[in-house]
Structure 1
């Protein structure tokens, strides 16, 4: 065989081998993948019944002054969130009411004043799909989903889907080819220094909560960084009573004593403006 023909044949065989490693065994359409994902997570009807949700647990972050900081994340449809983290008996709070956001944290003078979200934070928070994520009921949310290909995620085959949000932003969702649970998503965020970075959010330790599959461990961080923020969820409450006042911006409360707080602005991967929903 001539060298050129041998090179072409070798290249073709390599392409076939590479493709077989990249594409999961099941040849499914994007609609079938989404349908299986919704079923694996508990079903569309069950998720539609969830109007509020609370996570409580602890967070480890490179920006935190101490490990295992307790947090509470409250979510209410259509797009309200309240994230509180406690450090040394002081609270830092980030709240989005569906239109505007504010953040509150004690300063060195012993007082705290609510600060508005930046424009980037508001844009990111408006794009979040609280409670159930990007794929469940995606058509009703105005999200277009296409199948881009497949990758290895944690040593397992996963479908890579592109989700185009009503804002025009495109995010990617990786769905495990065996369990059909969404195991990773990505998004672009702007850091406090004005840099745009891609953040990956990985989901693991799925558990059944009243028939819904919810990840109890969530890691997030910039793709180029080895430092990751980790949320460990100890308790999930479905449909608790959440008054809208919980998401209303308060007047600045007086605070006394020495104040130490986690700098939630320093980490684009912590919940708040673009929190890691399931």
Structure 2
């Protein structure tokens, strides 16, 4: 589950990261000259505009996830309002994970597809939400605060603290020039109730279908480092609705 969370954060948007490795130490932090609302508005505009973001109906990501010397391929399908399918390989075994808008399903190796535990499904639903948490944040029960402006790797960045309705807390740093993410840390509790923090950094931003996406990212969770390389992104393509359905008779061979 933890690896799945990290991979989804790496692959499905935003920019995130760890601390700046001391590069900003010893220099005075720049002053924030904008409000949280203004920073969020600039960020959504940089991604393609709030209207375009809300009008987008489907996304398909194809990429590779590298952890240690192993490289695994994956495809992630997303559709409004909160449908998600991810399929690929992990340690030589195929897998399929589905959230059908209500329930979560999983098949790994040669095991038949079956429902995931309720606590796992809660997290899957959170990551299946099509819009980023900064879109209509207040209406969705999220709280956004501007911590200030900071020097991140030699450039000014706005630091936002985002408290999700779930209770998870994200720290986000947006470049003061591009207003794209430069760092993020996310604090959450795993299924055992243990508090975890994941760190992700994003790069190689490109425009696809009028929206901006990061095509390269690195992350860390529980001391494990992972990299994601996005090979292609499809915006508003047709996705067979059956991609988001699961039958107990189906096996993980669906991923092959």
CA separation of 1:89 and 1:171: change in aligned 2, threshold 3 A:
closer
Aligned to 2:126: 127
Q: Which residue of 1 aligns with 2:227?
A: 230
Do the aligned partners of residues 114 and 72 (structure 1) sit closer, same or farther apart at CA in structure 2, a change above 3 Å counting? same
CA distance in 2, matches of 1:85, 1:175: 31
1:1-278 mapped onto 2 (5 Å cutoff): 21-24=28-31, 27-62=33-68, 67-86=70-89, 90-106=93-109, 111-128=110-127, 130-190=129-189, 195-222=194-221, 225=223, 227-253=224-250
Q: Tell me the secondary structure at the aligned position of residue 70 of structure 2.
A: coil
> Relative to structure 2, which stretch is displaced further, 142-151 or 207-216?
142-151
Distance 1:151 1:114, change over 3 A: farther
Aligned positions, number:
231
How far 1:196 moved relative to its partner? 2.5
Kept in 2: contact 1:124–1:189 (CA 8 A): no
Question: 2:168–2:188: 8 Å Cα contact kept in structure 1?
Answer: no
| Other-structure match for 2:13 | none
Q: Look up the SS of the partner of 2:140 in the other structure.
A: coil
Which of the pair has more CA radius of gyration? 1
Distance 1:163 1:29, change over 3 A: same
* Cα-Cα RMSD: 3.0
> What SS class does the counterpart of residue 48 from structure 1 fall into?
helix
CA drift at 1:23: 3.0
Report the counterpart of residue 15 of structure 2 in structure 1: none
Kindly indicate whether the alpha-carbon contact (under 8 Å) linking 1:127 and 1:165 is maintained by their aligned counterparts in 2: no
1:147-201 Cα shifts (integer Å, max 9, x gaps): 1234444443322212222334332222112211123333234557764311122
Identify the structure with bigger relative contact order (alpha carbons < 8 Å, sequence gap 6+).
2
- 138 and 255 in structure 1: CA distance in 2 versus 1, 3 angstrom threshold: closer
Cα distance in 1 for partners of 2:151, 2:227 equals: 21
Deviation of residue 92 (structure 1)?
A: 0.9
Deviations 1:11-58 (A, max 9, x none): xxxxxxx8962235x511111111111111111111111111000011
Distance 1:138 1:218 in 2: 24
